[in-house]
Structure 1
């Protein structure tokens, strides 16, 4: 049965940028599964698969539909148990929940302060209106003001990565010598910024940068297939 991954993209459909969709894309490659991708803009998502979900990713595997990146990873682990594991057991599954919580509370908000306006500028016109209205309501300020001091925010953000840096400076991946879904969770956040914004914040000599480059090269360079924003 064919597998389809619905992803989020802006004006350029060849540049999917959602961190959550990137988690799933690498999870599918990790499992060695063939799949097709289809992209949608923010305002097109409610029309996908009869309104199945208000957000992407959406995975369609034959007659099965699954939304939410973590739920999709759990589905893939259960549906394809003979393929390489995404969690390495129940302990890895529980720890991945922690990694997801930390990523969404520490990394995502910081990267939004770097990339929000660039994300807006890469969207189609209807999506720009939706994105500006919804994000400015959430942020309590204009997109321009929200990112105005991003250069000053780099150093504090890099310091906040010390828990990640301490691990990937000693081992290749969060999963050890090979990656697990926990790596894809964090990778998705950095790939979101890489694809969406030309603003660069990771130093060349940082162990986090080296880990991110290793992740970009995984699975035949899946992450590198979409060039960095310029």
Structure 2
């Protein structure tokens, strides 16, 4: 099944860290599929431009590109219906669509100000300069200024997880008895933070922490084996 996956990395090509690439990694594992990893860095846009994208993940299936983590999840579900379902039916797919937006806004958007100045430490000089310039232009302040309030910011972030926390008190995964793509949407953000920053996002007694630990151990510990911080 000739798959190739462009994944965002820094100085260590074996350490992918994009939250969106992790969604795709987990989706492939859920389907029992594997892909050749093609390490990609922020300033290597020319490598994926022929595939119609400026961002990763980009999945190549027999050299045909599928761009964007949500599109990839749908592609895998539709083209490999005989393998474990990512959504558990059309109702699950519809709910996952909402969670995909929530994951972008509340999880990735909520975590970003808490770890933003730690990310360049994982990059070489050229990519670190690109990241700093582009993100400081977006925020209108230095990365360090954006991150300066993270001790207070993490309290608000933890509170924002309460709907998820309440669900996890009644069931082991967002998807129910077993994880599905809804879990991978949210997990991607936490894995991104784990790989790039030593900042503690969750308390050890939080049901969200226990959920994250189970996903780190899933698929024979695939995510846990990726070098990260013990937070």
Normalised TM-score (structure 1): 0.96
The equivalent residue for 2:54 is 54
- Separation in structure 1 between the aligned mates of residue 174 and residue 102 of structure 2, nearest angstrom: 14
* Unaligned residue ranges in structure 2 (runs of 5+): none
Deviations 1:137-188 (A, max 9, x none): 1111100101011112121111110011011121111111111101000000
Q: Give the 5 Å matches for 1:71-220.
A: 71-220=71-220
Identify the residue that residue 229 of structure 2 maps to in structure 1: 229
Q: Which whole-Å CA distance do the structure 2 matches of 1:10 and 1:77 have between them?
A: 30
- 8 Å Cα contact 2:51-2:65 kept in structure 1: no
**Number of equivalent positions:** 230
CA deviations 1:95-120 (Å, max 9, x no partner) are 01111111211121221111111111
After TM superposition, what 4+ stretches of structure 1 lie above 6 angstroms from structure 2? Answer: none
SS at match of 1:176: coil
**Equivalent-residue separation in structure 2 for 1:25 and 1:51 (angstroms):** 19
Q: CA RMSD in A?
A: 1.3
CA distance in 2, matches of 1:190, 1:201: 8
Deviates more, 1:101-110 or 1:86-95: 101-110
- Give the Å deviation of 1:51: 4.9
Matched, 1:20 2:20: yes
How far apart are residue 55 of structure 1 and its match?
0.4
**Paired position in structure 2 for 1:11:** 11
Corresponding residue for 1:40? 40
Decide which moves more: 204-213 or 144-153.
Answer: 144-153
Q: CA deviation at 1:13?
A: 1.0
* Contact 2:57/2:69 (<8 A) preserved: yes
Q: CA deviation at 1:63?
A: 3.1
Query: Would you say the 8 A contact 1:46–1:52 is kept in 2?
Result: no
- Structure 1 SS opposite 2:43: helix
| Offset from partner CA, 1:48-84 (integer Å, 9 cap, x none) | 3635310000101113210100000000011111000
Q: Aligned-pair distance for 1:129? A: 1.4
CA contact (8 A) 1:41 1:124 kept: no
For residues 49 and 6 of structure 2, the distance between their equivalents in structure 1, rounded to whole angstroms, comes to 10
